[in-house]
Structure formats: structure tokens, C-alpha cells
Structure 1
Amino acid sequence: MSSLFEKHRSTLETALEVIRHRGFWSAYPEMPSTRFYGEQAKEEGQQAYDALLNKDFSLPGYPEQGRAGNEQSPYGVALGIRYPVASAETLLKQSQEAGKVWANTPLDVRMGICLEILARLNSMSFEIANAVMHTSGQAFPMAFQAGGPNAQDRALEALAYAWAEMSQIPGQTDWVKPQGRAGDLVLEKHWRIIPRGVSVLIGCQTFPTWNSYSAFFANLVTGNTVIAKPHPSAILPMAITVRVAREVLSEQGLPADVVLLAAEDDGMGMAKQLALHPDVALIDYTGATAFGQWLRTQAATPLVYTEEAGVNSIVLGSTDDFEAMCQNIAFSLTLYSGQMCTTPQNLFVPRDGVLVNGERKTFDEVTAGISNAVDALLADPVRAVMVTGAIANEATLERVAAMRGAGRLIRDSAALPGMEQVRTATPLIQALDASDENIYGAECFGPVSFVIAVDDVEEGIRRATQLARTKGAITGAIYETDEKRLAQAVDAFAQAGVNLSVNLVGGIFVNQSAAFSDFHGTGANPAGNCCFADSAFVANRFRVAMWRRLKK
């Protein structure tokens, strides 16, 4: 076994055990604490990030043909970083050359390298957190957790699934078939894992590492080379990742071009150029549905893994704790200004209200309860920006403005006071009727939510799951104390391919997805065709070839 594999073996073995029982475990502490990362980690991470600004980003050995980069922080400053770029043809040529060596690198060596990359990225979590914060607009606590340790956990989860699939294939065996008096027929058989080839990873702005690391590491460990094509507004987090990967590869005497960065300025069209090239074997994509559909129909390879837009819903029927329910929903609507693929958009509420300990709260009391909970959450401006973060791009603000007047106003969206240079927007909440599906029946990305009057809980379940089947959904939730209705909801959401959260209160929210336990997405509705992570996510990234001969 390779030295790096032995160094990190226990981490992999624990991950393999946890994905079988799916209990709580995290390999990489998500709290930005000196206890885990050292007394100087935060300061050193800030300094490392600051040192990258207003400079050319260095990627030693990269086949550079120019520079690009125009990232603007949603917190009001330009990053000023220029990244090396190369044409699609050049990147593919270099990737294929490196792939000849990488494909023949033993599995334990590849795994050891991947685990070492993750360990180094974890040690750089404060630097990466600043990079994620100033490209995505996430507040620092979320940028640290989601951009650093949580993303690293998802990567390790994918590595564990890949190892489980590949390690069950033996390298060789003697196949013995009894032939009676003629003696045994013996064949010497050998099997080899064959990677698909060059993979292209098309990232998003809002979660540049969390939504990319599963595929990045799944492709690497299965022997494929990786061309990382980050969003033009969020290059830095993946550029840091690529640099670390190339450093580890070079140290192990392997071609750094196993991992390449496809940086670009907005409008250069690199994603389409790569997707249409016949030498690309695998594509992973996170982003809007329109481009996801284009990839699935037009890309040169049929192996396209996507996470796309969806319409997430909450059905409100009854609760034992109205205040706690409203607070939980308010946080879910407000967190990162609704810019999460897991954020609920539609809240289906019976016209005659919600039962609370046997007494009915009217529809208007429910909407007021949620709106007031949002106001209370955001009352302290310092805490407010830690919850909302910043708006990643202007298009989201324009979307919020365009949706004003779409329904009866419950709560208007506004910029956070005292944050003039930061792009912010609090939740816009409007009341609609079930008949207004032309408004609530499509994703409205950002801090926009609809409280929709339905005849009863059953209609809410029916409409929520129908939207999931037709438009897609990553998450679903319900507040209901009647066990019979809960059973109906569980069946309906499962049949729609949606993971369901029930009666969440306190410190757990529908937005959250825990590696090693929660399957993120299902691949069973239009919000995406894969899951982070399961066996299906990794198993088709490689094939198995055999050679055999008679053994004398």
C-alpha cells in the first residue's frame, strides 16, 4: 500500500463504516475553533487570502496561454485576481496526456493522493472560507462550514463509495471448472479498472466547493482526469483546490495536469466548448435548469451528472409549538438570503388555518407569525448579516424586484440597514391562492417565498409533490401531528423523489444536509439526475476490463 494511503487509512475506514449505518460523523470539524485548527489559523487564513488579491494566481506548470478573472465580492470589493487560461483544445490535450499515467496508477495510490489533498484543504479551511465568502456572498460562518469542512466531508463520502465499489473487484483469480475425467479446466483471469477519460466539472457561484467536491474527488479516485470549470464569478475557491491537487500530484511524481483549471471571464463560453468536444467523457454540472437541459441533450457525452433548479415546499397542517415552527421556517427562508438549492419557496397552508394544540390559527395569523419571526431574527443588524450573507449577483436583486406585487404582500424585502456597500436583501413573503400556480410553479431563486392558500392539508401535499414531479425539488417539509396524514405525506414525497423533513424545530433546518447520513438529492425528479453521494454516483465513472488465459 502507498505511504499516503497508510497515512490516511483510518479516515477512509471510518468513512466506509459510517456510510453503512449512516449515523453522525464528521472527519473535518465544522467549527472555526482554535481547538481544532490552532491559535493562529484564522489570522493565517486571512493573511493567505489577502496575499492572493490583486495579483496573478500561480499554477506552476500550467499550460498558460493568457489570463482571465474579474471576480467582484458581493461585500463590495474587487478581488483583482487574474488566473492562467488555456484553450479548450489545449486543456483537453494536456489532460489526455496526463490521463495515460493516471489511469495506470494503482488504486491505493490514487486514494492516498485524494485523501492527502483533502487533509491539506482542511488545514486551509480559513483561507478557503474567505475565498468562498467573497465570491459567493455567504457569511463567514457558513462559508467556513459549507465551503470548507462540510464540502470536504462530502468529498470523503464520495471517495468511500468509490472505494467500496472498486475494491470489491479482485485483481486476479484462478477460475477452475471441473471436467470429470478430462481434468479441471483452469483459466487465469485478470481484471483492470478502466476510467472513462477526461471529466469536466462545471461549478456554480453560490456553493463553489460544496457542490463540486463530490464529483471532483469521485472522478479523480476512479482514474479520470479533471478539468474544473468554475463559475466566472467564483473562480478562487476551485483555483485554490486545483493548486493543492497539482502540488500533491507533483510531489508523488505524477503529472500535475491530471487536474486542470478552466478559468474564464463571463461570456467566453468555455463550458459549451468543453461539453461539445468528443474527447470529454464525463460532465458534472450544478446550476440553472436551462443549461442543465442543454447539457443533457447536446453534450458530446451521455454521461452527464446534474443538480439543477427545483421548487421546494413546506406543507403546514398542525403543530404543538407554533412559535418554534415559525422560528424554524423563518430561519430557513432567511439563511443565505434564500440562495440555497435546499431553501423552501412555497408554503402550503389550509385556508382555514393551522391547528395548534387543537385550536386553529387563521391563515393570516400563520403568515403574520412567520413574518414576525423573520423580523425578530433580523432585528440585530450585526446578527442579521451573519444569517443573510450577501446577494451573489445583481440578477437576484432584479428577480426580487420583479416579483413585488405578484401576490398580497406579507413582508417586503429590503436591504439591511448600515450595509450600504454590501449587496443584501431580506425575505420577500407574499400570499397567493392555490390557483396562482403560474406564479409559484417555477423556481424564483433568492429571498422570495409564497404562502399559498389550499383547501386542506391533503391538497397541500398533492400540490407540493406534483410540483416536485414536474419541476423538481431537492427538499420537502411538513408540519403535521396527525400520524395518518404524516404517513400519506411520507409516501407522496417519496414517490415524487423528494427527501422529507417532519416537524423540524430548534437547531435543525430543512436547508441542511449532513454528509455520511443524508443523501443530498435523489436523482428521481427534475431537480437533478444524481445524488450526493451513493453508489450510483460513482459506479459509472469507471468500467472493468478483463484478460484471461489457460493455465497449464
Structure 2
Amino acid sequence: MAYDGPTAMYIDGEWVARGENGTAPLTAPFDGRTLAVVPVGGSTDVDRAVRAAGAALRSGLPLHRRLEVLEAAAVAIGARREEFARTIALECAKPIRTARVEVGRAVDTIRFSVAAARTLGVESVPLDATAGGAGRTTFTKRVPIGVVGAIAPFNFPLNLVVHKVAPALAVGCPVVLKPATQTPLSSLLLAQVFHAAGLPAGWLNVVCGSGSQVGHAVATHPDVAYVTFTGSPQVGWGIAAAAPKKKVRLELGSNAPLIVDRESDWAAAADQAVFGGYVQAGQSCVSTQRIFVHEDVVDAFTERLAAATRELVVGDPLDEAVDVSAVINEGEAVRVEKWITEAVAGGARLVVGGDRSGAVVSPTILRDVDRTAKIQCQEVFGPVVTVNTFTDFGEAIAAANDSDFGLNAGVFTTNLQHALRAIDELEFGSVYINDVPTVRADQQPYGGVKESGNTREGPRFAMEEMTELKFVTMR
């Protein structure tokens, strides 16, 4: 199926077919077919978009109108669910069934933003609690921080874009969006939906192009007040360093651990780890990567995990039967393959998979992997899990914490003391008991510590970040 949706950038309410740097073909990761020819923007396109967003901010848009537009957009996306899902599948090789789930989540994210906006308001401060404050009436109100620069990743090209756009619009912040270079089409479809929903010019601008040019221009533009970035730690912390006076909020990577205790439903853990490790070819910030299993159950756990992994269907993302498709490009597939080879050379045992065809890496299990192997200590962002053993539960917690990252961690145990200890001692933004770490509810406070970022997303929490508190006193 060919893509037949919008291919032009969206700036100041107009469609722009050619960017500062011309145009470029966009190819499908799975089979290399040309999907579209898209604009390649630059700093002048970003400047025009930021100026349009600034004008929209100064003009203002009442809350009830913003919410009407958001509600209309949610309805429209739901009505065009299949079109959005096929676009996602084509541009990032996400299996079509998984892509449909993403579309549904994006609709929910918009609706959570609408609900949060209805209650995000004025708070009273009792100044007369001290003698000096007597006779004063005070309150705080939230005001938009300004123009939001949003830099989005490829792995959730609709929902993670919506996680930035919907909260910003809900609180009255116009947006300049830079979608991932490989996945601009979902963002352009989203702009089309908002345009049709009646969003005035300047409130949403989509500029396609590279991170080094468009992303850098968005992050460093003097009239962008807030930058929200999801992607790799190297790029994210680089953006923060390049814009030290801005509010830069980062949601970055991880190599999420799963601990399977001796006292646990280890069979359920193995079944869920198949989803956690291989959904969208392991290209998730919270993809289950490092699995630590008690020595008494590790053989049975690995056998069950391997059997289920061998049953996964690998192939064309538009095939309804497919569970795992390509990673984002062949270069990334080659890197994942190299990391697997290096781990095996370092003493790891290949249980399942390990082979590559083009951009498709077969779902892979490695056992007894050295802690210094790249596939163990870095973020693989591919369909690979490692299985290592432990004897003592404290040893498992230490191994899980032995990481530069700290986004999500999962623990399977029926031992209450172990569960409580894990909650206290695991150094992660979220801890899931009797669940894999590959979990995100769109309304939760989502984010991590250490190299995994410096924020909590989720509509209400993002909206608090995108506003400033103004304190008012009346005497």
C-alpha cells in the first residue's frame, strides 16, 4: 500500500512543499520502497515557524476553544485510525496490529490532556497564616511558559508527538514540532487533523529535517521558551548543554531490567518478557533488555522464553500475522548484529536468533552475558534480551542498578519483603511488581533518573512543566 497523505511541512497554517534544503525521498525501513518525497527544512523554516507561534501566543486562544479543537482532533484520529496505523507501519516498520494500538493511545492522550486542562487552575495561598500577611488575599495561577519546541523520536511517531503537542495546546502554548527524520508522515497527518479541527494558524507548526539543523535551530532559537525532547541520551544532553538558559526537558533511553525471583510466577514472567523484549523490534525506551533470573528457575524460564520467541512471526509490518519487523534502518540492524557477535565472542551463549536480513534482526536471546558487553550495559534498541542468573535477591537488585540508566524496572516475586525491598532500592523512575518494565500508561508520571532524563511526562505532569506559576496578592 502506498502512502497518499500530506507530504508538505505545516507552518503558520500553510503547507510548505519545499524546505530551505530542498526535498528528499523517504523510504520504508522494511523493504526500501519510496514512500514520499518530503521537505528538508533548515533554520529559516524554523525561524518562520517560531515567529508564527509567537504571534499566536500573543493573540491568545480561550481555553474552551483549545479544548474544542483537541476534542475534535481526538474524534478525527479515531475515525481515521486505519489510515494513521498504516502510515505508522510504513514509515517505521511497526507491525500493523501494534500500530493500531498506538493510534488508540494517542486518542487517549489527547483526552487525558483535555481532562487535565479542566482542573489545572487557581490555588489559594493563606498569607494570613502569619501576622504580616493579614489583610491580604492571595492566589497562584498557571500561565503558559511560551512557545514550545518539540523534538520527537521515530519509535512512537504519533503517540509521543501527541504527548508533546496536546498538553502544550491545552495550556495555551503554541508548538514548533520537529518530527524524527524517518517518521515525519504521522506528524503531517496530525497537522492535517488539527487544521481541519479549526486550530488557528501558528498554534502548531511542523518542520521536517535533520536534528543537526532543524532540531538545533528549534532548541537554540531565542524565542522558544521550553524544549521537550525524546530520544538518545547523547543527543538529549547535548541539547540541554546548547540551551542552558531554557527549560529543557528530556525523556531518554534505558536498558530496562527484569528480575525473576525464585518465589514467583516465572512462567508468566517468561510469557510477558516475549512481549516486553520484542514488541516493535525492541525499539522502545523501556524495552525489556536485561533479565536476571534466580538460579533455581533459570533453565525452565529460559526454555519457555525460547520456545515462545521461536513462535514469533517476522516479516512485513503490513501483514496482520507479523509480530516483529525491521528496525529503523539497515545501519542499526548491522550495529545490533555486531553487538550480538561481540557478546558471543566474549563468552555469552546464543540461545535463539542472532541472524539478520537487511534491516530485520531475528528475535534473539543471549545467556550469561558479561556485564561489560555493549549489549548488556548499553541500550540495544533492537530485538535482543539477555538472561543472567543470581543466587541472592540483593545481588539481583545490585545487578539491575548496575546501569547508567534508570527509567523502568520490573520484578516478578510473590515474596512481599522482596517486593518492598525492590521498591525501595531499585534506582528507577518506575518500578513494576509482577509486570515487565515495558509498560507505560499514558496518564502516569513517566520518566527516569540518571542518564534516562530529567522530567516526568503524562498530560497533567507535562502541563505543569509547560506553565509558570504567577503569584497574585491583593490588599
* Same fold, TM-score > 0.5, yes or no: yes
- Give the aligned residue type for 1:512: V
Residue 155 (str. 1) matches residue 91 (str. 2): no
Deviations 1:519-540 (A, max 9, x none): 433x444312222316442223
Counterpart selection for 1:138 from 77, 94, 100 = 94
Question: May I ask how many residue pairs the two structures share in their alignment?
Answer: 459
**Counterparts in 2 of 1:348-359, with a 5 A limit?**
348-350=292-294, 353-354=295-296
Deviations 1:19-58 (A, max 9, x none): xxxxxxxxxxxxxxxxxxxxxxxxxxx7xx74338x7678
Residue 485 (str. 1) matches residue 418 (str. 2): yes
**Counterparts in 2 of 1:413-452, with a 5 A limit?**
413-415=354-356, 423-432=359-368, 436=372, 440-452=376-388
Evaluate the alpha carbon distance shift between residue 385 and residue 414 of structure 1 in structure 2; reply closer, same or farther with a 3 A threshold: farther
**Counterparts in 2 of 1:122-271, with a 5 A limit?**
122-146=78-102, 148-166=103-121, 168=122, 193-249=142-198, 255-264=200-209, 266=210, 269-271=213-215
1:453: Cα distance to partner? 3.1
**Counterparts in 2 of 1:3-82, with a 5 A limit?**
50-52=3-5, 61-62=14-15, 66=19, 67-76=22-31, 77-82=33-38
**Counterparts in 2 of 1:455-494, with a 5 A limit?**
455-467=391-403, 471-493=404-426
Residue 114 (str. 1) matches residue 70 (str. 2): yes
Query: Which moved further from structure 2: 237-246 or 283-292?
Result: 237-246
Deviations 1:102-121 (A, max 9, x none): 2xx22222222222222222
Q: Secondary structure of 2:228's partner?
A: strand
1:190 and 1:64 mapped to 2: Cα distance? 48
1:71: Cα distance to partner? 1.9
1:213: Cα distance to partner? 1.0
Question: Given that residues 349 and 369 in structure 2 are in contact (C-alpha distance below 8 angstroms), is that contact kept between their aligned partners in structure 1?
Answer: no
2:188 and 2:370 mapped to 1: Cα distance? 45
Percent identity (aligned): 19
- Give the aligned residue type for 2:412: Y
Question: Given that residues 333 and 447 in structure 1 are in contact (C-alpha distance below 8 angstroms), is that contact kept between their aligned partners in structure 2?
Answer: yes
Q: Secondary structure of 1:122's partner?
A: helix
1:474: Cα distance to partner? 2.8
Question: Given that residues 167 and 460 in structure 2 are in contact (C-alpha distance below 8 angstroms), is that contact kept between their aligned partners in structure 1?
Answer: no
1:108 and 1:205 mapped to 2: Cα distance? 32
Q: Secondary structure of 1:490's partner?
A: helix
Question: Given that residues 197 and 281 in structure 1 are in contact (C-alpha distance below 8 angstroms), is that contact kept between their aligned partners in structure 2?
Answer: yes
2:332 and 2:314 mapped to 1: Cα distance? 23
1:500: Cα distance to partner? 2.5
Residue 276 (str. 1) matches residue 212 (str. 2): no
Query: Which moved further from structure 2: 319-328 or 331-340?
Result: 319-328
Residue 291 (str. 1) matches residue 235 (str. 2): yes
2:17 and 2:314 mapped to 1: Cα distance? 49
Q: Structure 2 unaligned runs (5+)?
A: 129-133
Evaluate the alpha carbon distance shift between residue 534 and residue 88 of structure 1 in structure 2; reply closer, same or farther with a 3 A threshold: closer
Deviations 1:171-210 (A, max 9, x none): xxxx99xxxxxxx9798x9987532221111011111122
1:136: Cα distance to partner? 1.4
Q: Structure 1 unaligned runs (5+)?
A: 1-45, 177-183, 355-360
Deviations 1:275-334 (A, max 9, x none): 112111011111111011112222254311211011200112225655443222223222
Instruction: Using structure 2 for the length normalisation, give the TM-score.
Output: 0.85
Question: Given that residues 149 and 226 in structure 2 are in contact (C-alpha distance below 8 angstroms), is that contact kept between their aligned partners in structure 1?
Answer: yes
Deviations 1:404-424 (A, max 9, x none): 241222223235xxxx7x842
1:346 and 1:409 mapped to 2: Cα distance? 15
Question: Given that residues 98 and 257 in structure 1 are in contact (C-alpha distance below 8 angstroms), is that contact kept between their aligned partners in structure 2?
Answer: yes
Deviations 1:104-142 (A, max 9, x none): x22222222222222222222211111111111111111
Evaluate the alpha carbon distance shift between residue 437 and residue 163 of structure 1 in structure 2; reply closer, same or farther with a 3 A threshold: farther
Evaluate the alpha carbon distance shift between residue 75 and residue 91 of structure 1 in structure 2; reply closer, same or farther with a 3 A threshold: same
| Structure 2 partner of 1:8 | none
Deviations 1:413-462 (A, max 9, x none): 235xxxx7x84222222223565466512212111221123342220112
Q: Secondary structure of 1:94's partner?
A: helix
Question: Given that residues 312 and 324 in structure 2 are in contact (C-alpha distance below 8 angstroms), is that contact kept between their aligned partners in structure 1?
Answer: no
Evaluate the alpha carbon distance shift between residue 322 and residue 151 of structure 1 in structure 2; reply closer, same or farther with a 3 A threshold: same
1:380: Cα distance to partner? 11
Residue 520 (str. 1) matches residue 446 (str. 2): yes
Max Rg structure: 1
Q: Secondary structure of 1:51's partner?
A: coil
Evaluate the alpha carbon distance shift between residue 324 and residue 454 of structure 1 in structure 2; reply closer, same or farther with a 3 A threshold: closer
1:261 and 1:381 mapped to 2: Cα distance? 29
Deviations 1:509-528 (A, max 9, x none): 54232334x4433x444312
Counterpart selection for 1:93 from 46, 51, 56 = 51
- Give the aligned residue type for 2:292: F
2:337 and 2:40 mapped to 1: Cα distance? 37
1:233: Cα distance to partner? 0.6
Residue 529 (str. 1) matches residue 470 (str. 2): no
